[in-house]
Structure 1
Amino acid sequence: MQPYSKACENNKEPILAILKSAFSNVSNVLEIGSGSGQHAVHFAPALPHLVWQTSDVVINHQGMMAWLNAFPADNLLPPLPLDLNDEWQIARYDAIFSANTLHIVNQSLVTSFFDKTAKHLNVGGKLCIYGPFNYAGKFTSESNAEFDNWLKIKSPECGIRDFEWICELANEAQLELVKDHEMPANNRLLEFIKG
């Protein structure tokens, strides 16, 4: 049975519109935290010039494969077993994409995300991160504040991250902010390039 994320269905078209430009000159993309796989099956056929590599912790692979098998694409690869807690024995990529991940892991794993991006993203490569962010320590909407409270009830170390802290981690990973894209439903898409 295919897992279903309403958020993925709602945001896939706005995200794709940006990825078509951001990833126009890349040949391969690593998606970190592919989750249900809904983004991957939508993005890969719409970006036929590149190879889309899914990844996630192993527990999510079965559900993801249900989507990949239902909507196969020649440039869409089955998931790699990647965990932010572990070292990755993988190649380098021209681009890395991740959606709705940094607020559901603890702070040390957010740092690990950028450490691994620095190791596995080619020079000149793009990093695109989608999700909600705070600015100057403040929520951008009441719904984001409520979402953050819900996350912290589940796990005190989770929560919406500060844009400034994310940019600081990115800079340490030799990533420069290209654009902070405004997205629907009080989300953002942060586009970085590796210098």
Structure 2
Amino acid sequence: MTDARQHSPSAERNRDPILAVLRDALPSSGRVLEIASGTGEHAIWFAGALPGLDWQPSDADEDARASIVAWRAHAALPNLRAPLALDVRRPDWGIDALDAVVCINMIHISPWSAAQALFDGAGRRLVDGGVLYLYGPYKRDGAHTAPSNDAFDHWLKSRDPDWGVRDMEAVVALGDAAGLVCEQVVAMPANNFSLVFRKRAT
């Protein structure tokens, strides 16, 4: 039988630094939706390390979901759910009343409309005080934070002109409009950042 598990070297490299931020940012219990879970390696790592959380992975890509299913079967974690087929730009996410939303390395490899939909959907589905966590490269004050990010941005746009490294200030403004306050900006390895947003009480 073919093993559908996919491997991402970057997921293996960044999982521990991300987990360190998640331990501080996420509640000790509750329901977490991971958007664009990719291979599923992050999902099993975080669900295994944070057993009090009900971890719901998702991805719009069928092959990615097959990998998540395979990793889930391999890990056999009681708090890791089967993946949802979820595109943030669709109105129905198939899940509501979330304590946290985690989205790693998505908004630079998708159109800006996906980032807008992510914040709009998270703002409507998070409980008061709920957390939206983002990870990835960002520009600050319109400038790249490293030459490697500048090169990466050009490479992304060569693949799709709607992709690209986003301005952190524009992302924070999306949060503000959706009732999500950026509480924390954490510099991460390899010129990436963690952004932690919290939903304002309504």
Q: Same fold (TM over 0.5)?
A: yes
Check the 8 A contact 1:95/1:127 in 2, yes or no.
Answer: yes
1:9-28 mapped onto 2 (5 Å cutoff):
9-28=12-31
State the 1:80 CA deviation.
1.0
Q: What's the CA shift string for 1:38-68, capped at 9, x where partnerless? A: 0000000110111111011141211221111
CA contact (8 A) 1:26 1:50 kept: yes
Alignment of 1:42 with 2:57, yes or no, is: no
Distance (whole Å) between structure 2 residues aligned to residue 32 and residue 70 of structure 1:
21
Question: Which residue identity does 2:103 align to in structure 1?
Answer: S
Tell me, in whole angstroms, the C-alpha distance in 2 between the residues paired with 1:173 and 1:21: 23
Question: Partner residue of 2:67?
Answer: 63
Alignment counterpart, residue 156 of structure 2, candidates 145, 151, 155:
151
- What corresponds to 1:83 in structure 2? 87
SS in 2 for 1:90: coil
RMSD of aligned C-alpha atoms? 1.0
- Deviating beyond 3 angstroms after TM superposition, the runs of 4 or more aligned structure 1 residues are none
- Residue in structure 1 matched with residue 133 of structure 2 by the alignment: 128
| Alignment of 1:186 onto 2:191 | yes
Which residue type is aligned with residue 79 of structure 2? N
CA contact (8 A) 1:151 1:159 kept: yes
For the residue of structure 2 that corresponds to 1:21, the secondary structure is helix
Task: After TM superposition, give the deviation of residue 72 of structure 1 in Å.
Answer: 1.9
User: Distance in 2 between the 1:120 and 1:24 partners?
Assistant: 16
SS at match of 1:51: strand
Could you list the per-position Cα deviations for residues 117-166 of structure 1 after superposition, in whole angstroms to 9, with x for gaps in the alignment? 11111111011100000001100001101111110011001000000000
Identical pairs, percent? 39
The structural deviation recorded for 1:25 is 3.8
Q: Partner amino acid for 1:12? A: R
- String of CA shifts for 1:47-101, please: whole Å, max 9, x gaps: 0111111011141211221111111211011111111231123222000001000
TM-score w.r.t. the length of structure 1 is 0.97
Cα distance in 2 for partners of 1:37, 1:53 equals: 11
When the two structures are superposed, what TM-score results if normalisation uses the length of structure 2? 0.93
- Aligned residues of 2:30 and 2:54 also touching (Cα < 8 A): yes
What does residue 139 of structure 1 align with? 144
Amino acid at match of 1:174: G
* Alpha-carbon distance in 2 for matches of 1:26, 1:167: 26
* Partner-residue secondary structure (3-state), 1:77: coil
